[in-house]
């Protein structure tokens, strides 16, 4: 990566591991030698509310937050949140989205939530990779590792972090067996992207 700043937006719902993903990504980038700034915005409820994390990697990072049209990559942990945050994506930016669909409960009751097919059709208009992340995570033995599957896809698409640094960082943040399963999910996400691009 050159000395340009690389902006990543992580969008999801509380409880999906977006903040953990942001932390692992930032710490791995620092260990690789980059300057990193991070920031978050949390929805009304931490669990099931909207959670957006900003990760800026590069030599000249000053503010942790960036504006509309500045994200190089949008990592979406849930389809509704991915589409809702596409305004942050720069022209020709990359969207990596889990195919997870969990519309806000009130929106589904009132019928105001866009359907899964509408969201997928919207993503199809962009440079988007839709990942069966939950399925891959379940196959690794840790259904909660959807976030690590997306980290693997991100690194396969961008090649910004060495694998051994990502592994060490996951182990330092997620301990024990859950950490090992998270590493497996990371590699499965990486492999999935290589096999599907």
- Asked if residue 174 belongs to a domain, the reply is yes
Domains identified in the chain, total number: 1
- Asked if residue 67 belongs to a domain, the reply is yes
Asked if 22 and 38 count as a contact pair (C-beta separation under 8 A), the reply is: yes
- Asked if residue 24 belongs to a domain, the reply is yes
- Asked if residue 161 belongs to a domain, the reply is yes
Residue count of the chain: 197
d(CA 50, CA 30): 26
For residue 45, the model assigns a pLDDT of 46
CA atoms within 13 A on the CB side of 194: 10
pLDDT of residue 1 exceeding 80, the answer is no
* Helices assigned H by DSSP within the chain: 18-32, 79-84, 105-110, 116-123, 133-139, 146-158, 163-173, 176-196
pLDDT of residue 3 exceeding 90, the answer is no
CATH number of the CATH domain containing 108:
3.40.920.10
pLDDT of residue 44 exceeding 90, the answer is no
For 67-83, the pLDDT digits (tens) are 999 999 999 999 999 99
- Asked if residue 114 belongs to a domain, the reply is yes
Query: What average pLDDT is seen over the chain?
Result: 91
pLDDT of residue 53 exceeding 70, the answer is yes
DSSP label at residue 124: T
Q: Report strand pairing: 50-58 vs 35-42.
A: antiparallel
- Residues 66, 70, 75, 77, Cα dihedral to 10°: 60
- Per-residue pLDDT, averaged over 51-65, amounts to 87
Domain of 28, in residue numbers: 6-196
- Per-residue pLDDT, averaged over 176-180, amounts to 95
- Asked if residue 1 belongs to a domain, the reply is no
Alpha-carbon distances, residue 184 vs 24, 29, 157 (angstroms): 15, 20, 18
């Amino acid at each position: 990566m050159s000395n340009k700043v690389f902006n990543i937006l992580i969008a999801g719902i509380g409880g999906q591991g977006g903040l953990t993903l942001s932390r692992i990504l930032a710490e791995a980038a620092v260990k690789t030698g980059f300057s990193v700034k991070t920031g978050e915005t949390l929805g009304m409820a931490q669990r099931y509310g909207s959670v957006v994390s900003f990760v800026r990697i590069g030599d000249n990072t000053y503010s942790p937050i960036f504006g509309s049209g500045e994200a190089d990559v949008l990592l979406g942990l849930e389809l509704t949140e991915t589409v809702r945050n596409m305004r942050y994506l720069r022209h020709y930016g990359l969207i990596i989205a889990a195919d997870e669909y969990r519309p806000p409960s009130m929106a589904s009751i009132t019928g105001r939530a866009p359907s899964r097919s509408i969201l997928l059709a919207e993503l199809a208009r962009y440079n988007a990779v839709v990942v069966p992340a939950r399925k891959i995570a379940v196959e690794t033995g840790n259904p909660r590792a959807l976030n690590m599957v997306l980290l693997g896809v991100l690194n396969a698409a961008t090649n910004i972090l060495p694998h051994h640094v990502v592994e060490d960082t996951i182990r330092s943040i997620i301990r024990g067996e859950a950490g090992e399963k998270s590493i497996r999910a990371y590699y499965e996400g990486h492999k999935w992207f290589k096999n599907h691009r």
